[in-house]
Amino acid sequence: MTEPGISVIGGGITGASVAYHLSKETDRPVTVYEQRDKLSMETTNKSGAFVGYWGHEPPGRLQMMDYSMRLYNRFLDDAQTNLSYHFSPRLQVATTDDGVANLRERFKQNLGATIEEEGITTGMRRSPVQYLPSNRLAGSFLLPELELGPVMGATYSGNLGHLWPARQAAQEFVLRARENGVSFETGREVTEIVTKGGRVSGLIVDGEEIETDEVICTAGPWNKNILRAVGIDLPLKHTLGPMLVLQPQKESPHSLFSLKHEETGYYMRQNPDGTVFLGNNPGSYESAGTEYDPGDVTNTVPEELRSEGLEVAKSLLPYLEGANVVDEWVGVRSLTPDTEPIIGWTSIQGLSVASFNASGIQLSPCAGKIIANQVVHDEPTAYYESVSVSRFEGYGDYR
């Protein structure tokens, strides 16, 4: 009797990475079901696609980054690739006393560093991160376009950049997975995971039951609802990720830092095509409190976020005065209680999941490897303790 195939729900970057890694480890047929007509058009395509080190990475995350960076380096080395990488070091700037206090506190907590009052303080993790009071900025970096007046303090993360275009990062996995025989079925919505006696027995796809004994749920912000229907309540929350694409009246001739405003969560980044991303990432799991059905979220950025964001952007980068909004969208970010991803086995045999804390572009390469090892070789992997949902109270140990 032939074994049934392995099924992946969702054709974003995570589903593509999982499919690619499975296809390297097994001869069983692998099928990815994607509800949209095109792959990777949801959270993946709406992402900033930053990859690198902010300075607050715990040891488990560093291990995952190591694998992911090596794999992206291989993709970028491929002469055929349309994927490109652009350095965009981050200055996180505070413009109030409270903002400076928060920035300094986080820097000290994350890096165990003490801060000298007037100097530059450097903390190490995978790459140096610095704290700079405002009076040290102009002497430390060339900062064309940045209005230093309102800035009272900043942290600098140098080893940071972005992949461009974001969707192409996923396509790199899709191309290779297809070469290995993976089937990507678009326009195919999974409406039910069928279970019998605590294990997966099939999927309902567009009304048709498909036999399968291994399902990997990589449906981005849809994961929460899909798994809830089979009795698994993942500790995930959502925030909205609004993005405006600005076309400046006159493009800057300079290469700019990416910026994040500590007090409001707005961030700005110069794109390779001269446009500027203006996004908002308001912060933590504790303050999130909301769950969104991504299917109900429209791509129009709410007016108050649009006007507040544009004000913040112009106050820090005056060259954006008069910039036109040429595109916009709203993505849905998933957040986990400890900011680390949830990857791997669940309480239902044959059902695995991968969900991220707004870091899926960075970490999905390694997520694919972890899931392939668990599903094909029954190996928990060295990452198990830091990524399994079992680390949270109320969830079992699935080894």
Ligand X SMILES: Cc1cc2nc3c(=O)[nH]c(=O)nc-3n(C[C@H](O)[C@H](O)[C@H](O)COP(=O)(O)OP(=O)(O)OC[C@H]3O[C@@H](n4cnc5c(N)ncnc54)[C@H](O)[C@@H]3O)c2cc1C
235-264 burial code (b ≥16 CB/10 A, e <16): bbbbbbbbbbbbebeeeeeeebbbbbbbeb
Of 205 and 320, nearer to ligand X (C-beta) is 205
DSSP state for residue 386 in the 8-state scheme: H
- Rounded distance between C-alpha atoms, residue 14 and residue 47, angstroms: 13
CB of 302 to ligand X, least distance (A): 14
**Are 195 and 307 spatial neighbours (Cβ–Cβ below 8 Å)?**
no
CB of 50 to ligand X, least distance (A): 3
Of 156 and 222, nearer to ligand X (C-beta) is 222
- Rounded distance between C-alpha atoms, residue 202 and residue 212, angstroms: 5
Of 14 and 390, nearer to ligand X (C-beta) is 14
CB of 310 to ligand X, least distance (A): 17
Rule CB under 6 A: which residues touch ligand X? 9-15, 33-36, 42-44, 46-50, 189-190, 218-220, 222, 226, 241, 243, 279, 331, 333, 356, 358-362
Of 113 and 278, nearer to ligand X (C-beta) is 278
Q: Provide the angle, in degrees to the nearest 10, between the axes of the packed helices 166-179 and 59-77.
A: 70
Of 215 and 320, nearer to ligand X (C-beta) is 215
State the pairing for strand pair 50-52/153-157.
unpaired
Of 121 and 157, nearer to ligand X (C-beta) is 157
CB of 149 to ligand X, least distance (A): 28
- Rounded distance between C-alpha atoms, residue 244 and residue 268, angstroms: 10
Residue from 236, 262, 322 nearest 95 by CA? 262
- Rounded distance between C-alpha atoms, residue 18 and residue 38, angstroms: 18
Residue from 367, 375, 382, 296 nearest 65 by CA? 367
DSSP per-residue codes, 264-278 = T-EEEEE-TTS-EEE
Distance, C-alpha 17 to centroid of its chain: 14
CB of 115 to ligand X, least distance (A): 27
Of 51 and 137, nearer to ligand X (C-beta) is 51
CB of 16 to ligand X, least distance (A): 7
CB of 64 to ligand X, least distance (A): 11
Tokens describing residue 389:
């949902």
CB of 170 to ligand X, least distance (A): 7
Of 113 and 361, nearer to ligand X (C-beta) is 361
**Are 66 and 365 spatial neighbours (Cβ–Cβ below 8 Å)?**
no
Q: 384 to each of 11, 163, 261, how far by Cα in Å?
A: 24, 27, 34
